[in-house]
């Protein structure tokens, strides 16, 4: 997520509760936060709702923000926590396949079925592992960036990816898929 | 060997779970402001109830204050 810079004065006014300052920061960072959330939740409407939720949490915690630090990095940390909460409460749902006749449609249907199985297996991962694995394996973000966003060490990121990989391989094998 | 297996798994995941990209279509500030205002309204009503409760308590404990309050109003 690209981090925009903000002036210390702007952040100072924000921590003191000035709504204008909050609006400025909101407008500067809403798209970054949205893009970050979209990468994880993969749903536009949910990402929009979560963007509002993230900035609401930011607004409530404004007095605790250190204006000398990066607002963007703080926002991304809060966004990651909000995304994790979303993954915890949202069950993995897979769309049903439609019946089809021709071999070409069956090939597409078979591919679609594999996609659905893989998606469902992925979403069955515990929220922490799912979030980390999504950012590392699908979005291919550097481990350092993921570590900063989640507030954990790079070693912890590697461990989560390792655990997620192990679970994914096991579950895919149970579903008859061996990469 | 393990790395090769991992790489095949990662390739499969990327093939079927491609990254999602996109920007906001609309400015979310109006919705944000609505959320802030909703919370402010809820806070004021609780405050109002608390103040009302205090005034009622005062009047119950010291009813002789009523004429003084009415004079002030």
For the segment B50-70, the average pLDDT, to the nearest whole number, is: 84
CB contact under 8 A, A114 and B16: yes
- CA atoms of A175 and A122, how far apart (whole Å): 12
Q: Is B21 on the interface with A (CB under 8 A)?
A: yes
pLDDT of residue A80: 96
Could you report the per-residue pLDDT of A69-113, keeping only the tens digit for each? 899 999 999 999 999 999 998 876 543 333 334 444 555 888 888
Helices (H), A16-102: 19-41, 44-60, 71-89
Give the model confidence (pLDDT) of B8-52 as tens digits: 999 999 888 888 889 999 999 999 999 999 877 555 567 778 888
Question: Structure pTM?
Answer: 0.78
Q: CA separation (Å) from A99 to A40, B16, B22?
A: 31, 21, 32
- Residue B43, chain A, CB below 8 Å: the answer is no
pLDDT digits (tens, 9 = 90+) for A2-19: 555 667 788 989 999 999
Residues in chain B closer than 8 A to A122 (CB atoms)? 13, 17
Handedness of CA A155, A158, A163, A166 (dihedral sign): negative
User: Diameter of chain A by CA atoms?
Assistant: 65
Smallest CA–CA separation between B41 and chain A, in Å?
15
CB-based contact (8 Å) between A46 and chain B?
A: no
- Which residues in chain B have their CB less than 8 angstroms from residue A27's CB? 27, 29
What is the model's pLDDT at position B36? Answer: 93
pLDDT band, residue A147 (cuts 50/70/90): very high
ipTM of this model? 0.79
């Amino acid at each position: 997520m690209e981090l925009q810079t903000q002036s210390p004065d702007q952040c100072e006014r924000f921590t003191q509760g000035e709504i204008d300052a909050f609006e400025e920061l909101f407008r500067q960072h809403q798209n970054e936060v949205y893009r970050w959330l979209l990468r994880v939740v993969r749903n536009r409407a949910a990402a929009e709702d979560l963007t509002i939720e993230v900035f609401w949490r930011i607004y409530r915690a404004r007095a605790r923000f250190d204006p000398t630090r990066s607002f963007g990095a703080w926002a991304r940390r809060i966004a990651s926590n909000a995304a994790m909460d979303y993954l915890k409460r949202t069950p993995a749902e897979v769309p049903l396949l439609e019946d089809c006749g021709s071999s070409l449609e069956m090939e597409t249907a078979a591919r679609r079925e594999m996609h659905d199985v893989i998606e469902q297996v992925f979403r069955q991962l515990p929220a922490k592992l799912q979030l980390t694995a999504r950012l590392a394996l699908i979005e291919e973000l550097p481990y350092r960036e993921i570590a900063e966003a989640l507030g954990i060490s790079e070693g912890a990121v590697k461990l989560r990816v390792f655990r997620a990989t192990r679970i994914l391989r096991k579950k895919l094998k149970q579903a008859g898929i061996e990469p | 060997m393990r790395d090769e297996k991992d790489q095949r798994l990662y390739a499969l995941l990327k093939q079927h779970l491609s990254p999602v990209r996109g920007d906001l279509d609309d400015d979310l500030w109006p919705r944000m402001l609505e959320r802030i205002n909703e919370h402010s309204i809820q806070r004021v009503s609780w405050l109002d109830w608390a103040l009302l409760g205090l005034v009622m308590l005062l009047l119950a404990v010291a009813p002789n204050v009523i004429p003084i309050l009415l004079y002030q109003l």
